[in-house]
Amino acid sequence: MPNIFEIRKKPCKINTDEKYFDESTVILLGDVNIAVKNSVIKEKTLMLGNLIEIVKNLSNSFPMYIEESLKSILPLLKFYFDTHISLLAAFDLPLLIKSASNCLKNYEKGNEN
């Protein structure tokens, strides 16, 4: 699998210093402005979007990557700094379940013969 899962290992650094606000998405959390780097948000969005396409196109060949995919997707369901990321993560889950289900069906058919 390509290094699509390496993005999961990159920490999402949160800054409250105003010098980071130009290159970041600024979120007001209570009384504090929080900056999340735009590049981090973009990488996570691209990873999830690419994962959707990979699972769709390699559905029957993808099950060996389901565990690694879940490790990447599940934490992003709670990524409250950008709702687009949590929505993409939510869209990925049913595709992974369908891929695993298809794999089990194919395995059971193979054992019947």
Q: How far apart are CA 37 and CA 64, in angstroms?
A: 32
How many Å apart are CA 30 and CA 33, to the nearest integer? 8
pLDDT level of residue 90 (50, 70, 90 thresholds): very high
What digits encode the pLDDT tens for the residues 55-70? 888 877 777 888 888 8
Helix (H/G/I), strand (E/B), else coil: 42? helix
| pTM, two decimal places | 0.68
Indicate the pLDDT class of residue 24, thresholds 50, 70 and 90. low
